[in-house]
Amino acid sequence: MTDLRAFVRVAIDQETCIGCGACIEACPHNALEFDDNVKARLVWDLCRDDFSCIEVCPVDCIYRVNEASQELLSTEGWYRLSPDAGEDVLEALEDWREKYGVKAGPV
Ligand code: SF4
Ligand code: SF4
């Protein structure tokens, strides 16, 4: 079984995102989507750290979580969980939030 604690993941500055969709197309794990405002959003438990999304963003608004600002990590809206996320996912999420100082919760 995949260890969800192993991944750093990415944080998205949705203020800067222009909704081009390049990251969504580039992600091999379907871990990115548009939210209702056509801003990119991460599906937390699907992300697998290949970071191809960072390279294709034309406005450089995707960051490795370990390189993102505390301000961004405190901003709500840039990630969610899969609808069927279970207890193991929630526990891994809490560990990840603590490890990286992610104050924002999932939407
Ligand atoms: S780091 Fe990889 S898996 Fe995660 S959202 Fe970006 S492209 Fe997708
Ligand atoms: S590539 Fe960048 S600007 Fe385009 S949708 Fe993704 S985060 Fe937004």
Q: Tens of pLDDT along 55-92?
A: 999 999 999 999 999 999 999 999 999 999 999 999 99
Task: Pull the structure tokens for residue 3.
Answer: 């260890």
In short, whether 47's Cβ falls inside 6 Å of ligand 2 is: no
Q: Is residue 17 part of a domain?
A: yes
Q: Is residue 20 part of a domain?
A: yes
pLDDT at 31: 98
Q: Distances from the Cα of 51 to the Cαs of 5, 31, 36, 90, in angstroms?
A: 16, 11, 24, 23
pLDDT at 51: 98
* C-alpha count within 13 angstroms, C-beta hemisphere, residue 68: 27
Q: Is residue 32 part of a domain?
A: yes
Q: Which domain holds residue 91?
A: 4-99
Residue 1 in this model has a pLDDT that exceeds 80: no
Site to substitute for ligand 1 among 2, 7, 12, 29, most atoms within 8 A of C-beta: 29
Helix (H) or strand (E) holding 98: helix 87-100
Q: What secondary structure letter does DSSP report for 83?
A: T
CATH number of the domain encompassing residue 70: 3.30.70.20
Which atom number of ligand 1 is nearest to the Cα of residue 52?
7
Q: Is residue 106 part of a domain?
A: no
What is the total count of domains within the chain?
Answer: 1
User: 44 alpha carbon to ligand 2 midpoint, in Å?
Assistant: 16
* CB 18 within 8 Å of CB 40: no
Q: Is residue 26 part of a domain?
A: yes
Range 39-52 average pLDDT? 97
Q: Is residue 81 part of a domain?
A: yes
